[in-house]
Structure 1
């Protein structure tokens, strides 16, 4: 079985459907608190975002933390990245771009922080893709990975109303215990892995979904938000994301 659940054609078509990609990244962008705390606590100065086109986290970390940033992805449309940088008051030289196949690329440097947001769930072999992240880490460096939690209510909506997109995700990877175990066996330390967020539901290309699907999604979204406002907790059945943080031992 191929390790890939997607290919270049999938990602080219995916991004070509998107509009408004050159957006202003706010200071409270998703996962901002977790990233800012790690940067302050661990003295992070350099980072690479894997699989991150168009580079929202690369821009966020350059704009608000001043990190030496690199963006690596299988597909990068540089004019969009340039527009994104300009929209956020940055120049084309502020983020190094590497367009390559992660499975053929050998890192020419290592970083204080290696992050990916919504990448590892597109591969069948979770251990292998995490080890490829670790190859970019300096001794003492920090691994930061996020992925969607399709075991939650959001996953039911994806499976029921967007099966092609659902099938591009490896549900086995969406297990905090498995992610911790992989990192432990790989020799990482200070491992934290768990569910994140109280509740959320989303659709890709929502305007293309049937009216019934959109109405049901909006009704569940509102109900879930009210419920988790009254009973705020993070869990497998409600939280939309999983976060994994680990550290490579210092030499």
Structure 2
């Protein structure tokens, strides 16, 4: 089976459909607490974001933690990344860019922190893509991976109303225990592998969806937010994300 659930043209089309990409990234950006803890406790100085165009996390780490950061993706439109950097009071030289196919690339260096957010679920062979991440991690360094949890209510919503997008994701990899086992087999020590977040629903290109679907999404989103505010917990059924944090010996 082909390992890729997407191709380059998919990502070209995906990013060309987006507007407002050059945003001012806040200090409380998603996963900021987890990343801040890793950086402080592990003395992180270098980091690479894999598959992260236009580079939100690379920019976040540079702006707020002054790390030496690299962005690697096989589709990078430099003017978009430059505009994002400018919107965050940074210069083009502040983030190293590597535009390459991860599957035909040998790391030129290793990093204290290797992260990807929303990458591994686009491949059929989960162990293979995680091991490619691990090859970038320095001894003593940290691997930090996040991905959506489409086994939750959000996944049902995607499958019901955006099947084309849902089918671009490997649902089987959305399993914290599987991710833990892959890392442990590779010799890493797993700090955490778990469901993360109270509740959320989202669509790609929501404004293009039928009005009835957008109203249903908003209604379910509000109900879920109220419920998980009253009874806050992370769970397979409701949490929108999975996070994996592991250390390399």
Using the size of structure 2 for normalisation, the TM-score is: 0.99
Native 8 Å contact 1:46 1:68 kept in 2: yes
Native 8 Å contact 2:180 2:190 kept in 1: no
Structure 2 match to 1:174: 174
Structure 2 match to 1:157: 157
* Superposed displacement of residue 99, structure 1: 0.4
Structure 1 match to 2:234: 234
* Superposed displacement of residue 211, structure 1: 1.2
Structure 1 Cα separation of the partners of residues 119 and 8 of structure 2: 14
What does the per-residue CA deviation read over 1:139-181, in whole Å, with 9 as the maximum and x for residues that have no partner?
0000000000001110011001100100000001100000000
Structure 2 Cα separation of the partners of residues 82 and 212 of structure 1: 38
Structure 2 match to 1:248: 248
Q: Mind listing any 5+ residue stretches in structure 2 that lack a counterpart?
A: none
Native 8 Å contact 1:147 1:174 kept in 2: yes
Structure 1 match to 2:109: 109
Q: Mind listing any 5+ residue stretches in structure 1 that lack a counterpart?
A: none
Structure 2 Cα separation of the partners of residues 23 and 226 of structure 1: 28
Native 8 Å contact 2:199 2:239 kept in 1: yes
* Superposed displacement of residue 213, structure 1: 0.8
* Superposed displacement of residue 197, structure 1: 0.3
Structure 1 Cα separation of the partners of residues 185 and 136 of structure 2: 17
Structure 2 match to 1:15: 15
Native 8 Å contact 1:114 1:142 kept in 2: yes
* Superposed displacement of residue 190, structure 1: 3.7
Structure 1 Cα separation of the partners of residues 138 and 156 of structure 2: 39
Structure 2 match to 1:80: 80
Using the size of structure 1 for normalisation, the TM-score is: 0.99
Structure 2 Cα separation of the partners of residues 110 and 97 of structure 1: 15
2:140 is the counterpart of 1:140:
yes
What does the per-residue CA deviation read over 1:124-153, in whole Å, with 9 as the maximum and x for residues that have no partner?
000000000000000000000000000111
What does the per-residue CA deviation read over 1:40-98, in whole Å, with 9 as the maximum and x for residues that have no partner?
00000000000000000000000000000000001000001011101101011000000
* Superposed displacement of residue 191, structure 1: 3.2
